[in-house]
C-alpha cells in the first residue's frame, strides 16, 4: 500500500452526511467521542485514510458541520489539498455550506469534488433541481468546475465515482514542500499507555524522523524542546513523514506543555509573533464596512486568537473589498509569508455564519505600522509582487538583500529572514550563498545564522571609528578605548561587534588589541598632552594616598585639587587603568592601601576563620560607607565569601 503525501477533507452543513460518507469510503468511523455517537453529530475533528482506485492511500480529515464548531472545522481544513463538499440532495445548499465554501476559498484550497449525498431520498426532477442549486452556489468559486456526483451511503450509488473523482482531482492539486522549514500544526494531543505523549496534525512542510529535536510554539509555561520517539502515518510506523502526510508523533515532551493551536518546529528555525502584515479580503456577505481598529477572531493553522485589525491603506473596508492590514494578535502564532488565515466575527451573517473574511500573510515579526506609511506599504506591495511572480534567481537575490538591508545595523537571524519572505528555504539559501560570496551580505553568528548587509556593516565601522576618535580626544593618555565601552557605543551584540572590529582591523582603519581599540596614529607615550596631565596625575595620586581607606568622592577630590570634575575624570581613569587606583562602585581607593588591608584581612581570617561586620569595621578603621564597598570588592576577587552575616576566606588570589 503506497502512501501519497496528500490529505483530503470534508466540508458542508450539519447532518448532510459527511461522516457517513467518510465511513462508506474508508470503512472508518471518525466519530470517536461518546457525545458524538449519542447526539449523532460531529463535534471534533475525525481522521481516516482512503485507498484510491490506483492503490495509493491518502489521509482524510472529517470536520464538524455545526456553526458552533467552526473553529474545529478550520483547524481541520487548513492542511488539506482537496475538499469534498458534501450537500444533501433533499435539503440543498444551507448556511454552513456557504460558510465552509468561503473558508476553503480563503484558505487557498484549489481543488475539490462535490458529493450530492442522500441521493436515494430524491429522484427525477428533484435531483436535477438539487444539482442546479449546487451549481449556482459554486459559480465564481474555486469549485465552479468541480464534478457534482450524486451518491448514497445506503445504496452505494456513486461511491466509486466519488473515489475516482478524488483521485483525478488530486493529480492536479499542488503538493506541499518537503524541503521547507518543518511545521506540524497540532490538532490533537493525548497520552497512550506504553508510549506517552502523542500529537497529530498534517505536516505542512519539511520531514520528520525519530530522534529529531522539536519544540511546540508558542511555548506554554514550563515548556521546553523534546525529542521525537516515533512517527506514524495512517496508523503505521514509518521511518520518515513528509510534507503532506497526516502524521502522529510520539514525543518526550510532557502532555501538559502541548495543546491544539501550537506548531511543532525544529528549535531555532522559527518564531511565534504577534504582528502579522497581510492582504485582507472582506467577504461580500458581511453586513457593514470593516472599521480600521476592529476586533475579530483570527484562525491560522490550528490556532485561534483575538486580534485588532489595523487597515493600512484604507480608513474602512467595504464588504467585498481587499486591503493591506496588520493583525495585532492577542496571542503569538507561528506564521510565514504565503500562509492563509480566516477572520470571524461575533454576529451571524444572513444565511452564512460568522466568517467575515481572511487573507494571505505577506510579512511577519515586523513592527507596528501607522496607516498610510509609504515605506511600510511599499514593503508589503513588494512582498506581494514577489509572491505572485515567484521570480527568477536574480529577483530572489534582490528581495533577500532588500530584507537584510531593511534590518539595518541590528542584523537579522536566518529564521527571522525566512519569516519575511514568500520563498521556500532552499531558494533563500541559494540566494544567500551568492550574496555572501559577493560580500553584499555578511554572516556573523553561526548559531543564529545571523546576517547583515554590507552597507549597514560599513556604517557600524564608521560609528566605531568615530567613537574611538572621541575617546582619544577625551582621554588622550589612555592606551585605547576599552572594548566593552565601544560595544555600548556601537552594538550590544558581541558577535556583531567582533565582525565590525575584524572588518576595520583588517583594512587598517583601527588597531584592535586584546582589550582595547585605538587609531593607528594614537600613541599616548608621544602625546604632548601627557606633559600637561602628568602633574595633575601626580597631585591626584597624592590626594588618594593621603586619604588611605577613606577616600574622597570624585567631586570632593576635584574641589581639593581646585580643578573641574570633568578635567579630573580622565586622569582618575588613567590611574585606575594603570593600577595606581582601584575603583569600587562610586569610590576610588589608593591601590597600596587596598593591598595592605587585603593582607590584614587574610591574616585575620587565617587566625579566626570568620569576620563579622563590626570586626571588619574595626580592622579597616572606617565607617560602613567605606567598609561595605571594600568587603564586596574582596568577594568579587573570590578572596572571601559571605555566609549569613559573616565572611570567610575562600582563597588567596594570585596577584
Taking only the tens place, the pLDDT of each residue in 32-46 is 544 544 444 444 577
**pLDDT exceeds cutoff 50 at 654:** no
Instruction: Give the predicted TM-score (pTM) of the model.
Output: 0.67
Taking only the tens place, the pLDDT of each residue in 199-240 is 998 898 889 999 999 999 999 888 889 999 999 988 889 999
Mean pLDDT estimate for the chain: 86
CATH fold of 533-649: Arc Repressor Mutant, subunit A (1.10.10)
**pLDDT exceeds cutoff 70 at 321:** yes
* 259 and 300 Cβ atoms separated by less than 8 Å: no
Taking only the tens place, the pLDDT of each residue in 157-172 is 999 999 999 999 998 8
Give one word for 448, left, alpha or beta, with left for phi > 0 and alpha for psi -120 to 50.
alpha
CATH fold of 184-265: Elongation Factor Tu (Ef-tu); domain 3 (2.40.30)
DSSP state string for 104-149: HHHTT---EEEEEE-GGG--HHHHHHHHHHHHHHHTTSTTTTS-EE
**Residue 433 pLDDT:** 93
**Residue 41 pLDDT:** 46
pLDDT band at 128 (very low <50, low <70, confident <90, very high): very high
The mean pLDDT value for 123-136 works out to: 92
**Residue 390 pLDDT:** 52
**Residue 386 pLDDT:** 63
CA 561/CA 536 separation, integer angstroms: 8
Q: State the pairing for strand pair 82-88/2-11.
A: parallel
Q: Which residue has the cell 552575616?
A: 645
Taking only the tens place, the pLDDT of each residue in 444-491 is 887 778 999 999 999 999 999 999 998 888 777 677 888 888 988 898
The more confident residue out of 527 and 441 is: 441
**Residue 445 pLDDT:** 83
The mean pLDDT value for 552-569 works out to: 90
The more confident residue out of 394 and 311 is: 311
Q: C-alpha distances in angstroms, 258 versus 255, 261, 263, 301?
A: 5, 9, 9, 15
* 67 and 73 Cβ atoms separated by less than 8 Å: no
**Residue 586 pLDDT:** 87
**Residue 222 pLDDT:** 80
* 205 and 178 Cβ atoms separated by less than 8 Å: yes
Burial class (CB in 10 A: 0-12, 13-18, 19+), 575: buried
pLDDT band at 72 (very low <50, low <70, confident <90, very high): low
Taking only the tens place, the pLDDT of each residue in 81-122 is 899 999 999 999 998 899 889 888 888 888 999 999 999 999
CATH homologous superfamily of 2-172 equals P-loop containing nucleotide triphosphate hydrolases (3.40.50.300)
**Residue 4 pLDDT:** 67
* 432 and 404 Cβ atoms separated by less than 8 Å: no
Q: In whole angstroms, what separates CA 475 from the centre of its chain? A: 44
Residue spans per domain, the chain: 2-172, 184-265, 273-377, 533-649
Domains 184-265 and 273-377 share a fold: yes
The matching CATH number, chosen from 3.20.20.10, 4.10.320.10, 3.30.1330.10, 2.40.30.10, for 273-377 is 2.40.30.10
* 357 and 243 Cβ atoms separated by less than 8 Å: no
CA within 13 Å, CB half, 190: 7
pLDDT band at 375 (very low <50, low <70, confident <90, very high): confident
**Residue 71 pLDDT:** 65
Amino acid at each position: 500500500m503506497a502512501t501519497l503525501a496528500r490529505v483530503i477533507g470534508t466540508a458542508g452543513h450539519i447532518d448532510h452526511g459527511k461522516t457517513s460518507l467518510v465511513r462508506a469510503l474508508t470503512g472508518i468511523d471518525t466519530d470517536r467521542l461518546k457525545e458524538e455517537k449519542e447526539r449523532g453529530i460531529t463535534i471534533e475533528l475525525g481522521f481516516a485514510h482512503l485507498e484510491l482506485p490506483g492503490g495509493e492511500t491518502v489521509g482524510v480529515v472529517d470536520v464538524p458541520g455545526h456553526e458552533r464548531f467552526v473553529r474545529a472545522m478550520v483547524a481541520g481544513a487548513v492542511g488539506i489539498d482537496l475538499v469534498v463538499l458534501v450537500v444533501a440532495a433533499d435539503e440543498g445548499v444551507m448556511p454552513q455550506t456557504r460558510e465552509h465554501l468561503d473558508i476553503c476559498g480563503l484558505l487557498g484550497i484549489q481543488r475539490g469534488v462535490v458529493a450530492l449525498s442522500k441521493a436515494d431520498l430524491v429522484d427525477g426532477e428533484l435531483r436535477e433541481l438539487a444539482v442546479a442549486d449546487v451549481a449556482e452556489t459554486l459559480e465564481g468559486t474555486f469549485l465552479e468546475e468541480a464534478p457534482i456526483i450524486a451518491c448514497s451511503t445506503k445504496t452505494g450509488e456513486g461511491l466509486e465515482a466519488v473515489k475516482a473523482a478524488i483521485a483525478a482531482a488530486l493529480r492536479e492539486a499542488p503538493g506541499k514542500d518537503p524541503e521547507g522549514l518543518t511545521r506540524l500544526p497540532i490538532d490533537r494531543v493525548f497520552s497512550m499507555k506504553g508510549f506517552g505523549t502523542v500529537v497529530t496534525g498534517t505536516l505542512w512542510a519539511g520531514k520528520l524522523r525519530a530522534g529529531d529535536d522539536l519544540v511546540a510554539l508558542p511555548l506554554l509555561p514550563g515548556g521546553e524542546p523534546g525529542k521525537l520517539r516515533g512517527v506514524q502515518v495512517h496508523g503505521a510506523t514509518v521511518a520518515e513523514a513528509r510534507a503532506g502526510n497526516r502524521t502522529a508523533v510520539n514525543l518526550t515532551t510532557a502532555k501538559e506543555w502541548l495543546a491544539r493551536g501550537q506548531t511543532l518546529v525544529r528549535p531555532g528555525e522559527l518564531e511565534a509573533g504577534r504582528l502579522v502584515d497581510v492582504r485582507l479580503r472582506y467577504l461580500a456577505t458581511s453586513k457593514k464596512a470593516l472599521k480600521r481598529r476592529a476586533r475579530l477572531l483570527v484562525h491560522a493553522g490550528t490556532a485561534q486568537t483575538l486580534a485588532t485589525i489595523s487597515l493600512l491603506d484604507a480608513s474602512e473596508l467595504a464588504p467585498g473589498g481587499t486591503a493591506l492590514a496588520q493583525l495585532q494578535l492577542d496571542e503569538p502564532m507561528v506564521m510565514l509569508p504565503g500562509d492563509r488565515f480566516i477572520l470571524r466575527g461575533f454576529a451571524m451573517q444572513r444565511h452564512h455564519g460568522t466568517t467575515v473574511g481572511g487573507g494571505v500573510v505577506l510579512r511577519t515579526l515586523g513592527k507596528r505600522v501607522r496607516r498610510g506609511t509609504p515605506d511600510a506599504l511599499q514593503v508589503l506591495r513588494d512582498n506581494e509582487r514577489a509572491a505572485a511572480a515567484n521570480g527568477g534567481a536574480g529577483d530572489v537575490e534582490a528581495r533577500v538583500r532588500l530584507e537584510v538591508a531593511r534590518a539595518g545595523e541590528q542584523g537579522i537571524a536566518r529564521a527571522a529572514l525566512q519569516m519575511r519572505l514568500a520563498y521556500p528555504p532552499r531558494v533563500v539559501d541559494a540566494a544567500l550563498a551568492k550574496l555572501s560570496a559577493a560580500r553584499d551580505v555578511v554572516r556573523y553568528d553561526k548559531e543564529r545564522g545571523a546576517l547583515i548587509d554590507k552597507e549597514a556593516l560599513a556604517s557600524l565601522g564608521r560609528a566605531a571609528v568615530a567613537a574611538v576618535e572621541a575617546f582619544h580626544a577625551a582621554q588622550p593618555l589612555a592606551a585605547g578605548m576599552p572594548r566593552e565601552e565601544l560595544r555600548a557605543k556601537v552594538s550590544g551584540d558581541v558577535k556583531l561587534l567582533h565582525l565590525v572590529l575584524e572588518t576595520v582591523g583588517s583594512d587598517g582603519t583601527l588597531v584592535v588589541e586584546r582589550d582595547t581599540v585605538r587609531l593607528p596614529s594614537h600613541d599616548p607615550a608621544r602625546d604632548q598632552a601627557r606633559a600637561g596631565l602628568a602633574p595633575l596625575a601626580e597631585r591626584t595620586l597624592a590626594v588618594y594616598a593621603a586619604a588611605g581607606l577613606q577616600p574622597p568622592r570624585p567631586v570632593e577630590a576635584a574641589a581639593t585639587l581646585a580643578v573641574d570634575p570633568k578635567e579630573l575624570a580622565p586622569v582618575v581613569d588613567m590611574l585606575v587603568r594603570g593600577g595606581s587606583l582601584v575603583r569600587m562602585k562610586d569610590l576610588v581607593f589608593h591601590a597600596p592601601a587596598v593591598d595592605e588591608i587585603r593582607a590584614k584581612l587574610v591574616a585575620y581570617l587565617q587566625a579566626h576563620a570568620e569576620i563579622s561586620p563590626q570586626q571588619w569595621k574595626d580592622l579597616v578603621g572606617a565607617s560602613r560607607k567605606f567598609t561595605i564597598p571594600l568587603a564586596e570588592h574582596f568577594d568579587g576577587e573570590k578572596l572571601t565569601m559571605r555566609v549569613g552575616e559573616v565572611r570567610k576566606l575562600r582563597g588567596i588570589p594570585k596577584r
